[in-house]
Structure 1
């Protein structure tokens, strides 16, 4: 499996599909405590006709490393991989924290992003005072309980319990330092006031039942984007797992549309 050593981390990644395709590559970035296999359905579909790149973020999946404190630092890892692969311009697709990374790149390096897709992601995490206190208190419980509580509530009611348990176990295998540090990084992330600067065509796909990052927060962000298309699916926060075919279809339609 290919890998890249960057700033104390070893990043594992997949680079699939035809290099000579006319379309720019698709680059998929997963979310907090997940890994590149969140994108299995999309990778299998799109790599038949275009180049597709996906990675395990540092400390996640099969990548090593820690030490990052901000979403911007994770964005630098993604950019380092794109430089390594010679990808100057791409369609950037990010889920949850991966969408925060995508927005960071689009703001700092707009010429590198042809289009952007935000899946279950927002520009600012906003809470009531009570919810904020509850989230702060949740970091004080035992680590495995903290992870389980956050992952279980990411799925819409009715999702198979055994599959949820498997994802809880996978998330809990992520190093504690990485999990807790990036939990804080997401809570501190805030680019909402700069949303109007992101002029690339953007698709926002969100789950109607998302309680992690409620759909109303995504809609608030969408209003500020100059060129945004919104799709709301009957799902929770984990759209790549809950509605893989519908998500792939939404991506296909967005990429095929003339902008």
Structure 2
């Protein structure tokens, strides 16, 4: 896989699909402790007709580098990659922390963001009692237990346990320093008072059973967007892998079928 050196990190990425395809490139941005393969279903669908770019964020997946202490740092990595690939306008599609990165990109580079898709993401971290307790004890419990508790909660009830165990194992393989610094970056993220500046048409797709970032928080954010459409899916926080076909069809509608 190709890699790009950016500020002490080697970013692994995929750049697929026709350069002269339908629409501007899609840029898929994964969430905390995940990797670019969260988007396998969507990339397989869209790469047949338009350019599709995805990356492993610094310290995640096959990328190297220390964790980011602010979401802005991760957004700068994405822009560095797009500049390297000579991509001007694009559509960011971000899941969870990737959605925070997408909003940061839209605010910092409004002229480059044509549309935006936020999947199970929010503009300001507001904690449920359970999530607040988990954060409070996060430095006191063993690292693998901390990761396992977060990932277990990310899936809707009834999702296959064997598959969840696989995602827990993959997340726990992310270096502890990367996991904890990015966790802090999400905790400090807050652009809710600025999302009214984002005029790009925006799709907000959210799992009904998401207890990591509840639907109520997303709806609060949606009210602040000048041009947003909301879709609620019968899934948890890990919508790209829980309901991949439904997410892909919703993206297709937003990108090509919506007036």
Superposed pair shares fold, TM > 0.5: yes
**Aligned counterparts of 2:174 and 2:73: Cα–Cα separation in 1:** 18
2:36 matched residue in structure 1: 36
Deviation of the 1:134 alpha carbon: 4.0
Q: Where does the alignment leave 5 or more consecutive residues of structure 1 unmatched?
A: none
Deviation of the 1:129 alpha carbon: 6.5
Deviation of the 1:47 alpha carbon: 0.3
- Structure 1 length as normaliser, TM-score? 0.98
Of 50-59 and 130-139, deviating more is 130-139
Number of aligned positions between the proteins: 259
Deviation of the 1:104 alpha carbon: 0.3
Is the alpha carbon distance of 1:115 and 1:211 closer, same or farther for their aligned partners in structure 2, counting shifts above 3 Å?
same
Contact 2:67 2:179 in 1 (8 A): no
Quick check: 1:222 aligned with 2:215? no
**Aligned counterparts of 1:55 and 1:138: Cα–Cα separation in 2:** 28
**Aligned counterparts of 1:235 and 1:56: Cα–Cα separation in 2:** 24
Q: Where does the alignment leave 5 or more consecutive residues of structure 2 unmatched?
A: none
Equivalences for 1:56-205 in 2 at 5 Å? 56-127=56-127, 131-205=131-205
Of 174-183 and 129-138, deviating more is 129-138
Contact 2:202 2:228 in 1 (8 A): yes
Deviation of the 1:133 alpha carbon: 4.2
Deviation string 1:144-175 (CA, Å, 9 cap, x unpaired) is 00000000000000000000000000000000
What SS does the corresponding residue of 2:199 show, helix, strand or coil? coil
**Aligned counterparts of 2:248 and 2:128: Cα–Cα separation in 1:** 33
Contact 2:29 2:93 in 1 (8 A): yes
1:234 matched residue in structure 2: 234
- Structure 2 length as normaliser, TM-score? 0.98
Is the alpha carbon distance of 1:45 and 1:95 closer, same or farther for their aligned partners in structure 2, counting shifts above 3 Å?
same
Deviation of the 1:256 alpha carbon: 1.3
**Aligned counterparts of 2:118 and 2:110: Cα–Cα separation in 1:** 15
What SS does the corresponding residue of 1:182 show, helix, strand or coil? helix
**Aligned counterparts of 1:126 and 1:211: Cα–Cα separation in 2:** 12
